Amino acid sequence: MLKTKLKIVEIFYSLQGEGANTGKPFVFIRLSNCNLNCWFCDTDWNKGQEYTLEQLLNEVNQYSCKNILWTGGEPTLQLTDEILRYFEGYYHAIETNGTNEVPSLIDYITVSPKVKPSEIKPTRINEIRYPIELNTPIPSIKELPHAENYFLSPMFMGAPRQRFDMVKANVDYCIHYIKNHPEWRLSLQTHKILNIL
């Protein structure tokens, strides 16, 4: 058995609220630590407690769902193929900031870029989902790595662990941009709108 321990902020079972998997149930594993410090981050990723893989699998096995979404913080700082093999039979999705390559055993990769398009590291991407506020410069899809889906996600405002409110100006900005650049799609954070836990 692997002796690896993962530092985790929280584990919860819910529905994916954004992107192409909206409405799909997942066991969310939010890993601690990040290599960036984005002002708009909705996670207190400095906190967390250590889990052995056995403890983590026991937590995950409480739920009938066989989908795991690894998020953070930045999950690529801890996650490896060796760890993923321990969760045999599970479908693995990840949400990453794009600064590191992703383990090969991940089934679905969401990159929410926090770096220049030329600095995005994953070579296989299912969706790119940009957090957008009013007047954020939006890169051309031609500048970005190939992905199956390209989303603009209007930023909600609030503090971690508190209510996040939709900002109409951010939504309107995304809608206007998408109307003029129809290769993009809108992704609203429905889990925040509906207060889904």
Domain ranges (residues) in the chain: 5-193
Out of 18, 26, 42, 74, which one is annotated catalytic?
42
Here the tokens at position 192 are: 């925040």
Q: Is 136 a catalytic residue?
A: no
Contact 68/86 with Cβ under 8 angstroms? no
Q: What is the pLDDT of residue 167?
A: 83
pTM: 0.90
Instruction: Quote the pLDDT of residue 114.
Output: 86
Catalytic residue among 18, 26, 34, 174: 34
Average pLDDT over residues 188-194: 70
User: Looking at this protein, which amino acid is placed at residue 29?
Assistant: I
Which of 12, 38, 143, 146 is catalytic? The answer is: 38
Res 37: pLDDT:
78
Give 34-80 pLDDT, tens digit per residue. Answer: 888 776 766 777 789 999 999 999 999 999 999 999 999 899 999 99
Specify whether 65 is catalytic. Answer: no
| Rounded alpha-carbon distances, angstroms, from residue 27 to 57, 64, 80, 174 | 11, 9, 18, 29
Provide the 10 A C-beta neighbour count for residue 3: 6
- Percent of the chain surpassing pLDDT 90: 75
Annotation says 172 is catalytic: no
Cβ atoms of 44 and 9 closer than 8 Å: yes
Distance, C-alpha 66 to centroid of its chain: 18
List 18, 87, 92, 95, catalytic entry: 95
Catalytic pick among 41, 44, 59, 65: 41
146 counts as catalytic: no
CATH number of 5-193: 3.20.20.70
